Amino acid sequence: MVSSSEPYLRAATPVGRAPVLCPPGWAAEPVGRWDGRWQEVVYNPRRHDVLVVRGGRSPTLEAALPASGWNESCHTDGARMWVRDRLGATRDALARLEERPRVARELGRSF
C-alpha cells in the first residue's frame, strides 16, 4: 500500500476479486483507462476533491481550475487528473478575508 498524503492512481481491482484495501478513511474510485490500463484513484474524500478531465484542452478551463485552488496532479494522452486540497482551499479563503479592507462604516442602529 502506498503511504502518501496526496491522491494517487493504482491499477483497478479485476472484476470478481476482493478490492485492494485503502488507507484508513480513504476511498478508491474508478477513473477508467489511464495509460492503457484500467485505473482507480485513491484519495481521502474528507480532504481532497478529485477531477478527471478528458478530451481537448480548454484555455478557459485551464485558467479557471488553478484560480479556484485546483492543481494538475498527473496526465496522460487525452486525460488529466486535477486535485483540490479542501484544507488548503479553506486556508486560502480565510487569508483572502483577512486581506480585505475593513468596512468603511458600520450600520447605524438605535436601541
Q: In what order do the strands lie in the sheet with 8-11?
A: 8-11, 37-43, 27-34
pTM over 0.85: no
Q: What is the mean pLDDT of the chain?
A: 86
pLDDT over threshold 80, residue 109: no
pLDDT over threshold 90, residue 100: no
Which one is predicted more confidently, 106 or 17? 17
Give the pLDDT of residue 106: 66
Q: How far apart are CA 44 and CA 50, in angstroms?
A: 10
pLDDT over threshold 80, residue 29: yes
Whose CA is closest to 35, among 84, 83, 77, 96? 77
| Reported confidence tier of residue 10, pLDDT bands at 50, 70, 90 | very high
